[in-house]
Amino acid sequence: MPVPSLSILDLHASIGDKPILKGLTLEIPKGEVHAIMGKNGSGKSTLAKIMAGHPDYTVTSGDVLLDGESILGMEPDVRARLGLFLAFQYPMEIPGVTIANFIRAALQSRLPEGEDIDAIDYYENLYKKMDLLSMSRSFTSRSVNEGFSGGEKKRCEILQMAMLQPSYAVLDETDSGLDIDALKIVSAGVNSLRGPNIGMLVITHYQRLLDYIVPDKVHVMSEGRIILSGEKDLALKLEAEGYDWVEKEYQAA
């Protein structure tokens, strides 16, 4: 039996009739952390949303397998309950729904019919995870993302990930909008979730994040494809020399 992984196979996808992903292949074995770097507009968020099942995009060919099972035909909520998590680049505000109730509904949806969350255990667990992310407890009664600063939104995403314990997580620009202190806190939160039972795909266009969340592999994305893969020091080279050389090499090849 092959190692469990999240694998993307020659994926082509478009929005309307505009092709955005043009044959993207990538495998994230469970237990590893991979990073995707790429310029704005290269299709990183599109990839993340397609994996999560966003209805605006059409997959024209290729596949996405979660531990060998194709997820493309599944509804977004089914994929999530199967263990896929997306930390959004732009998390939505949901007026009037508290964080506590939101996460609770998400956990509840993973239980069999008729079984209920134990409220005391739930809050104990929630508070523990919030402490880890240096979040004030008053957050639990605030509406999801409403009026949050950029950094608070990103922390809230990682809090949800910590509570839902996915087997694969895609983190889309989790570093954007964070100052250095917040970046350290969020990274520490992510690192504490690393381990043999989770595969992570960290999307960023700054090398900075990868100083704190050190990846096992780095992939460069451009115009809807992975054009180069390498070890973690590839990130440093991209930071120093930019992306142009990668694109030139890719075109030459």
Partner 1 sequence: MTSSTTSAAPSSDILLAPSNVGVLSAPADYSADWPEWFRRGQKTAWETFQAIPQPKRTDEPWRFANLRALDLSDFTLAVPVENEAALIVRSKGFPDVAAKLIFANERLIQREATGLPPGVLLLPLEQAATDHQELFQRNFMSTPVRLGSKKFAALHRARLRTGAFLHVPKGIVIERPIEIWHWVEGEDATIFPHTLIVLEDGASASVIDRFVSANDESSLAIAVNDLTLGSGSKLTYVGVQEWSSKTTAFHLNTTEVAMNGTATALAMNFGGSYIRGESDSHLLGEGSRSVMLSINPADAEREIDQRTFQDHFAPRATSDLLYHNALSDASRTIFAGLIKVEEGAHETDAYQKVRNLILSDEAEANSMPGLEILADNVRCTHGATSGELNEDELFYMLARGIPPNQAAQLIVRGFFGTVLERLENPILEEQLGAILDRKLNLTV
Question: Contact residues for Mg ion (CB under 5 A)?
Answer: 44-45, 89
Contact between 251 and ligand ADP (CB under 6 A)? no
Q: What is the dihedral of CA 228, 231, 234, 236, to 10 degrees?
A: 160
Contact between 188 and partner 1 (CB under 8 A)? no
Candidate residues 55, 73, 195, 196; the one interacting with partner 1 per rule CB under 8 A: 55
Residue with tokens 């020091």: 233
Q: How far is the CB of 157 from partner 1 (least distance, A)?
A: 10
Q: How far is the CB of 162 from partner 1 (least distance, A)?
A: 13
Of 44-52, 69-77, 151-159, 162-170, which segment contacts ligand ADP by CB under 6 A?
44-52
The entry of partner 1, ligand ADP, Mg ion, none that residue 105 binds, CB within 5 to 8 Å by partner kind = partner 1
CB contact at 8 A, 5 and 200: no
Contact between 108 and partner 1 (CB under 8 A)? yes
Please, which residues bridge with residue 58 across strands? 14
Candidate residues 6, 8, 11, 20; the one interacting with ligand ADP per rule CB under 6 A: 20
The entry of partner 1, ligand ADP, Mg ion, none that residue 40 binds, CB within 5 to 8 Å by partner kind = ligand ADP
Q: Which residues, 145 to 184, sit near partner 1 by CB under 8 A?
A: 160, 164
Of 17-25, 74-82, 127-135, 226-234, which segment contacts partner 1 by CB under 8 A?
74-82
Query: Strand 94-98 vs strand 143-144: parallel, antiparallel, or unpaired?
Result: antiparallel
Candidate residues 38, 43, 53, 224; the one interacting with partner 1 per rule CB under 8 A: 53
State which residue, 5 or 89, has the beta carbon closest to partner 1. 89
* CA 47 – CA 23 distance, rounded (Å): 11
CB atoms within 10 A of CB 230: 14
Q: Report how many residues bind partner 1 under the rule CB under 8 A.
A: 33
C-alpha closest to that of 163 among 146, 179, 144? 144
Q: How far is the CB of 148 from partner 1 (least distance, A)?
A: 14
Contact between 196 and partner 1 (CB under 8 A)? no
* CA 236 – CA 247 distance, rounded (Å): 17
Helices (DSSP H) in the chain: which residue ranges? 44-52, 76-82, 99-108, 119-132, 150-164, 180-193, 209-212, 233-241, 244-252
Of 9-17, 81-89, 125-133, 190-198, which segment contacts partner 1 by CB under 8 A?
81-89
Q: Where along the sequence are the contacts to partner 1 (CB under 8 A)?
A: 52-55, 75-77, 80-81, 85-86, 88, 91-98, 101-106, 108-110, 116, 143, 160, 164
